[in-house]
Chain A
Amino acid sequence: MIASVPEYWWPFLYQYGVGLIVFLIGLALILGYRSCNLTRRADRLWFAVLILGLLCYAGLHFLWYMAALYVMPGPVGGAA
């Protein structure tokens, strides 16, 4: 299935596939050991920041891809 995805998307998928697994393992550890205790208001806020940060980066990279693909396509120089 991955072969049908254009090659230039592979890094994005890997970054937010393997990277997401690492991120989720981290969340599981801190929640499981109650280092991040969601019964505390401050910890809930920080937990939200962690999720939003990931979404922020994923959104930024996605928009960057869209710009690269669709804003003024047809490069003058270099090889695609």
Chain B
Amino acid sequence: MDTFYTDLVCVGAGLAGERVAIAAAVAGFESICLSVVPPRRSHSSAAQGGMQASLGNCCMGQGDCPDLHFADTVKGSDWGCDQEVARLFAQTAPVAVREMAFWGIPWNRVVAGKGVYYKAGKAFEKIESAERAGAITARDFGGTAKWRTCYTSDGTGHTLLYTMDNEVVRLGVKVHDRVEAVSLIHDGGSCMGVVARCLKTGKLRVYLGKATLIATGGYGKLYRESTNAVINWGDGAAIALNTGLIPIGNPEAVQFHPTGIVPTNILVTEGCRGDGGTLKDVDEERFMNIYEPAKQELASRDVVSRWMTHHMRMGKGVPSAYGPHLWLDIRHLGAQHIKTKLREVDEICREFLDRDPITQLIPVRPAQHYSMGGVRTDKDGAAYGLRGLYAAGEAACWDLHGFNRLGGNSLAETVVAGRIVGEKIVEFLKGHESDFKTSVVRQAVSREQKRIEALIGSGGNENVYELRAAMGDVLMDQVGIFRNHADLRDAVEKLQVIYDRCRKMGLRSSCVHGANPELSAALRLPGMVRLALCIAQGALTRTESRGAHAREDYPERNDRDWLKRTLAFWKNEDDVLPVLEYEKPSKVWEMPPGERGYGATKIICTLDPEICGLKPETN
């Protein structure tokens, strides 16, 4: 058994994981980053549109400041976020963007002089001041008061991740790629590291660290139709959940992005609409201006996705072999703009759709995109339930996004949380010596060994790929954009059946040499189904609509009963349902719950004086 000792075991080498490892390295601590793919292939590289930070350099961002960013984020979250975290985040984001610039990001810059921009399909003029020329510029994104999204063309995630990994290389941080963490090693009180499986050789390994970080990204691939990469299985959340001690925060808060292309669900960035693109229906007519007169195409994602779905249900979708869809129109932005600021979009349309976005419409419809939920941590990034375990990035529920994440806030979260959580981990490491209990380690390894042996020799007849597809269908069709009691009830039952069938999984390949992709998938699936059950059960129980969680049978946002965060536990190995607990979303209420300004819903107000700021009447 290969065993590696280090200060920090960093599960995940995307933006969040690497930023934390850098913080540790700078402080003189050693870390090993694990990743199932080479670090630069992590899903962060797929982010296109940009990263929010209130620099206020461009003319349309003038007057921007952390306060406005904070307010937009809280509104976006539908008051589901932790306001302390949002405050910390908004304040740090500008520094994080500049630090990334210092490390080499070629951020797009302010160009002095007159320029044209588009809003709602119409052209407007703007004049950039010479005084700000060459400073980092920003584009418009949904749900923001100012142009705040810093970008490098539409390859922002790519440049961020490459620059981050450059720092990792410079500092000599170790990355073990093609290594998949399969369980956490803990004694019920502290976390000691992970058992992992090498995807080159198929052998189990042990990584022991004084601190462990989960930064495994999102779990979009639970859903059938997702913009996420094929490795976004939710491993991190699943292995945390499997301990029985760590809750998943707000699992039911799943974001759908308005513009996945049909049929492959590859994302075209929100930047398309930010830069002035419009949504059109079967008659090539706009409709967002009717549903959301104020923000139109640039209302937050949950709102736009819902109206799109609604519009298609009204029969206004464009029929196709892959079901109805709508159009995204960016033709009026012109070849020059598309070829420089939206080049990935241009390429994706040409390569995957055989379409030219300069002259043709792009077929789109909402697809699963982001998991607001994740390993629940406090504001330092420390996971609930185990000492020495941290989480950051999309894998975590830090909780910056509440029930809806704003576009551009996620890249920002990864680097900001990476910075902050990194420092907290350094503090923890400084005051910490740990002894690794060999019996605990041995037990953890043998449990995984047994699972593998059981699968290989099982003779079961359930096929892992069929089960996975069945899970994806249930979530997509019944735990999707619009939800209701009957569907959710049914979804939970179906998922339970699937969970049960997982026990009878059999492999069709008996090869024990090497990674064996079928075995990997089979090892992973039960954890994924548990996570799926958390999502479905969380959604079923939450009888209100908030952010991305939209109940047809409970359309109002109910602050009176539901201004709280779901904590989903899987307490016992043999359970068939998660245990749901709840906590207040925020300790401080800088911004009491109110209207978002878009996606108008009825609100049932809270009477909690601590939250709404009203003093209880005294007489």
A and B pair up: no
